[in-house]
A and B are shown apart, each in its own frame.
Chain A
Amino acid sequence: MKILEIKNLSLRSKKNKTLLLKNVNLTLNKGEVLGIAGESGSGKTLMGLTITKLLDPAIFEILSGEIIYDDNDILKCSEDYLRSIRTKKISMVFQEPMLSLNPVQTIKTQLYEVIKLHITKNQNDIEHLSKNIITQIGLYDFDKILSSYPHMLSGGQRQRIMMAIALVCKPDILIADEPTTALDVTLQLQILDLLKDFKIKNNMSMILVSHDLDLIKNYTDRIIILKNGLIIEEGITENIFENPVTDYTKQLISSTPDRIVTAKASDIKILETNNLSCRFPLNNSFFLKNRKYFSALSDIKIYINEGETIGIVGESGSGKTTLAMAIMQLLDYSGQIIFNEKDFSQLSNKDIRKYRDNFQIVFQDPFSSLSPRMNILEILSEGLLAFNKTIQHEELVEICSSLLSEVGLANDMLFRYPHQFSGGQRQRIAIARALSMKPKLIIFDEPTSALDVIVQKNILELIVSLQEKYSLSYCFISHDLKVIKSISHRIYVIKDSRIVETNSTENILKNPQNDYTKNLIKSSFLN
């Protein structure tokens, strides 16, 4: 039974008249989970927002189409009617729970508000209903949760509260827009399982918008693949994953990184850390004994061999990035970091600068890692000039163009600025910048997390081919076990500032010892 139908929907931006959705047709049946997949900018989120007519009419313009719910065309309905069905009949959960909750009001106020507006004004009923929904979404400390402010809750708890608010009216349709993207992998499954249970109990329909094909594959009945605002493929989930028709879908499905690491590692240790610890002061008390510290790294012992890639995997806040910064000598630490048989903990900052060409880093966000006011030539030549001031301009241009071709970019791009490049291209430039110093070790701090899956695969292939060519050593940091698996020789699992498990990639995946590792593997759909 159809519950929602979109016919011929076209949408464009008012400013530059580009079409954002082109003749979209879709139907949603009662009790069904419809997945919308596609890369960023494909119009996934816009589609969700159009259904409840939440788009800003000053920016977007609906050219044609109908959205039929309950025999009414939502696009023609009055604002009053829309308000009465939003949350009550059609409800939404967004990606970032911190932005969707009001920071100055308690959870109680925000949850009660919805109930008062749509269901009942009776105080006892309100309390009963909210207690009910909060236990249903898996939070048990009822009173404490209700009296908290959003910042007092963890990311997972906040997203659960968002779901409670969205689900308390038992809506017919839930639009979940990347509901788990901002959460750690191990939480993703719990949240989605909750949604699934709720859906089955209340016979609700759901639209799940996600860039993560594994989630879509495991949690939806039917999927739609969007590209540039156009539906390019539609069908039953299993059929699409087994027999994709269009090239784009095939590419998307095969973009889950395979194991591509090939280089053979030697036995010579290039980097070794002993008892590496790092802590940040929590309060800045004048008296030493009153000071409290947050331990970001405790007793870390890792090593990297020449030509080897180690993967460091863990959830947010586990200390992955702190470890990268400590190895890069960018923050104070205690313990030893031995690089090429030289103990860096004994050197002063000035001396360390002389060795900086040996180890380089590539960051997560390619948009903030390149200075917006420098062109590519300036960005690439900066490090070269810091070590060799006499180098001539012509020679610099030559070196930098060969660097660009090394990372697969045309060398006529040398005089462009970062904002003229896409995310993937920028990440290539960041890799070229790291290569410019001819380093022995490159640390990758979540280099592909901000990229679309297809681009991610290309970048990983580039990284691996560079390793083969120059026998580089890599330290690859990611929250995504799938990415780590595809390129690492060995894996360190890090949790709460400690290394909880380490082994070769095959052994860890086949035979995980630690419960956390097992959970991680399960959440990444790798078993």
Chain B
Amino acid sequence: MTFKKYNSYWIKFLNNKRNKYSLFLFSFFFILSLFAEILSNDKPIMMSIDNELYFPIVVVYTDKHFNGYFDTEADYKDNFMTEKMSKKGNWVVFPPNPHSYNSINLNNSTPNPAPPSQYNYLGTDDRGRDVLARLIYGFRLSVLFAFALTAIGILIGLFFGAIQGYYAGKIDLYLQRFIEIWGSMPELYLLIIFSSLFEPNIFLLIILLSLFGWMGLSDYVRAEFLKGRNMEYVIAARTLGLSNTSIILKHILPNSMVSVITFLPFRISGAILILTSLDFLGLGVPPDTPSLGELLSQGKDNIEAWWLSISTFLVLTGTLLSLIFIGEGIRESLDSRS
């Protein structure tokens, strides 16, 4: 029965073409980007040298494996390696886009940033790194970051909202004052201070942003719980002798998930936007990490290099738009009135 109910929401969601295509496109690109290492890498997927099979994409081979001199990992773009690969009987399979996000094209004849060419399909950025590779990795990082930030935010928000709404009274009063004080802290300044104190990395960003990101949601959850705690079926559950925890989990939570589900896609797109804007300002992830915001700021600095700004712009708006369409679709299909 439960399945049937959810099934009908699903059909309603897919009935709208805009929802269907947004969901399809977003999931397609996201799943593709999860295999970024296979799609875009400066290491070959597999190769055969002197009748021996190598899988450089998963196994780290040093130069010495190929009779070189160094103990460091082999550079498959180096002349030493390319000569070996092109020997008779040897073969090599490179990924479709033979660049990683931080590999620099040293053989470029044009100055960086270089326009699209047969070597770099979307050109290079101002340090000679492949734009397509950086877009693929950057998109993946943004979406994963957004998922993590949203999940943490929802968990904390649900927890505090549930406690405030269910117990109400004094607990609610104190937590609400705490939220007011906490929420009035200047988030951006804190980020600037922390990024100068510590080496900025993605986990630090997630922690810092999660500390503030839950408050918007907890307000809605609190309101739903305040409403739910006085519903007659909740009072009935109390008279049946159920504990507070099981009342919260079994009775009120399922009925107050609407706000969470409705806000989910908007929170995800919001998180992507936060990461992008922090990177744009240079407060986000460290410089060698692939990020959409960093590409945008490069595009701003090199305004004539249209391949930087236009490609990033398309990826970013495409992602945000499809997420928002999906969100609206979910909200409409869950709305029993329409």
Interface residues of A (CB under 8 A from B): 325, 328, 330, 353-354, 356-357, 359-361, 363-365, 368-375, 382-383, 386-387, 415-417, 430, 433, 437
Contact = CB atoms under 8 A, between A and B. Distances in A.
Interface in B222-260: 231-233, 235-243, 246, 250-251, 254-255
B233 A353 contact: no
Given A369-B232, A382-B242, 9 more contacts: A328-B235, A353-B241, A363-B232, A363-B236, A368-B233, A373-B254, A383-B240, A386-B240, A415-B1
29 contacts: A328-B239, A330-B235, A330-B239, A353-B241, A356-B239, A356-B241, A357-B241, A361-B235, A363-B235, A363-B236, A365-B232, A369-B233, A371-B254, A371-B255, A372-B255, A373-B255, A374-B250, A374-B251, A375-B2, A382-B237, A382-B242, A383-B240, A383-B241, A383-B242, A386-B241, A386-B243, A386-B246, A430-B236, A437-B240
A330 B1 contact: no
A403 to B, nearest CB: 13
Nearest to B240: A383
A417 B232 contact: no
Nearest to B257: A373
B1 A416 contact: yes
Contacts of B2: 375
A140 B99 CA distance: 89
Contacts of A375: 1-2
A415 B5 CA distance: 13
Interface in B179-210: none
- Secondary structure at chain B's binding surface: helix, strand, loop or mixed? helix
Contacts of A383: 240-242
Nearest to A367: B232
Contacts of B235: 325, 328, 330, 361, 363
Nearest to B228: A371
Contacts of A373: 254-255
A354 to B, nearest CB: 8
Nearest to A375: B1
Nearest to B234: A371
A371 B239 contact: no
A380 to B, nearest CB: 10
Contacts of A368: 231-233
Given A368-B231, A372-B255, A387-B241, A433 B1 contact: no
A116 to B, nearest CB: 37
B302 to A, nearest CB: 55
Nearest to B251: A371
A374 B233 CA distance: 11
A330 B235 CA distance: 8
A372 B234 CA distance: 11
